[in-house]
Amino acid sequence: SNKILAITMNPSVDISYPIEHLKIDTVNRVSNVTKTAGGKGLNVARVIHQLDEPVSTSGVLGGTIGTFISQQLNTVGLQEQFLHIPQESRNCIAILHDNGQQTEVLEGGPVLTATQQTEFMQHFTSLLDEVSLVTISGSLPQGFTTDLYAQMIEAAAKKDVKVILDSSGDSLVAGISGEAKPLLIKPNQEEIAQLAGRELTDLADLQDVLLNEDVFNGLDWIVVSLGKDGALAKVGQEIYRVAIPKIKVVNPVGSGDSTVAGLAVGINRHESIPDVLKTAMTTGMLNTMEKETGHIDPELFDEYFAKVSVEKLN
């Protein structure tokens, strides 16, 4: 099989409330409500789907919120293979108000049990038989152990399935500390500094850290995205600088996820190293040019791909 499986462990229904002026301690009324299935891995899956690469989604969901997420995925033609649980999935509310301010209310989501973690691992392991690559994005649900991603990477390694890990904090540390390693991680500069245990001064310093810090041993690909400045990547022992054109940004939210989607598609299609990096920068850029999060215009792909340049630095 050459299908990609995009994991979101704690998906949500993202509710957006545009309000001219937010008033505290009184009633606010809202007419233009939008509700969408949310979660980093769902953004990844949507962009992979837009590039016409076979993709499926999994994680854990439940309740009426879970049903809504499931239906939305089906509506856009995304295969839904989540573990269904009796608890309710979460809502996340963003209030857009007062000329560009954004106030968010984020539920923690269901608190899961050790038994449900075992069930999920069994479910995930069976899904591995149908896929060539897995992307894991975002944080863990409450109740699951910090080493879940490490366990998933181990299970994938046993079946020769590649893993791209895009998370942060303890689950990222645990995810790259096991014996089996993810093929690729996509930390930002802040996460690299955290993993290395020190501040980074400039790109030369970043390069030095990627090549020499022990925490990064055994990771084939480390792609550090740098927003409008493109990316710096280590592949094997080689360092690549990726430069992107100046573009008009409409909404940058989800560009990290879209970058992961591009990496997954490029690797799954066995593109050359520079082309994988160009594909990823293109999907990242195209996402920033759209209003909708985790959405690209595939018609623009070739034009922007041609504007990305990759230079080997060492």
Positions that interact with ligand ATP (CB under 6 A):
188, 225-228, 230-231, 244, 247, 249, 252, 254-257, 259, 281, 284-285, 288
98 Rama sector, left if φ>0, alpha if ψ -120 to 50, beta otherwise: left
Q: How far is the CB of 138 from ligand ATP (least distance, A)?
A: 10
Identify which of residues 22 and 247 has a Cβ nearer to ligand ATP in the complex. 247
The CB-of-211 to ligand ATP minimum distance in angstroms stands at: 20
Q: How far is the CB of 221 from ligand ATP (least distance, A)?
A: 14
CA angle 157, 161, 167 (to 5 degrees): 80
Least separation in angstroms between residue 82's CB and ligand ATP is 22
Give the nearest distance from C-beta 128 to ligand ATP in angstroms: 26
Nearer to ligand ATP, 92 or 281 (CB): 281
CB of 185 to ligand ATP, least distance (A): 11
Q: Quote the tokens at residue 17.
A: 């409330």
Q: Closer to ligand ATP by CB, 151 or 288: give it.
A: 288
Measuring CA to CA, how many Å separate 20 from each of 25, 35, 95, 98? 16, 19, 10, 6
For ligand ATP, give the closer residue by CB, 65 or 209.
209
Going by C-alpha positions, the residue among 242, 307, 298, 291 that lies closest to residue 48 is 298
Distances (CA, A) of 10 to 26, 98, 211, 233, 295: 31, 30, 33, 28, 20
Rounded to whole angstroms, what are the CA distances from 80 to 5, 6, 83, 88? 10, 10, 9, 17
From the CB of 286, what's the least distance to ligand ATP, in Å?
9
Q: What tokens were used for 66?
A: 């879970």
Question: For ligand ATP, which is the closer residue by CB, 12 or 288?
Answer: 288
Q: Is 158 left (phi over 0), alpha (psi -120 to 50) or beta?
A: alpha
Please, which residue, 192 or 281, has the CB nearer to ligand ATP? Answer: 281
Checking DSSP bridges between strand 3-8 and strand 83-85, what pairing results, if any? unpaired
Q: Which of 149, 11, 176 is nearest to 82 (CA)?
A: 11
User: Closest separation between CB of residue 130 and ligand ATP, Å?
Assistant: 28
Nearer Cβ to ligand ATP (178/227): 227
Question: Minimum CB separation from ligand ATP for residue 208, in Å?
Answer: 20
Whether the CB-CB separation of 175 and 150 falls below 8 Å is answered with: yes
Is residue 290 within 8 Å of residue 250, measured between CB atoms?
yes
- Nearest CB to ligand ATP, comparing residues 120 and 221: 221
**Which residue lies nearer to ligand ATP by CB, 111 or 249?**
249
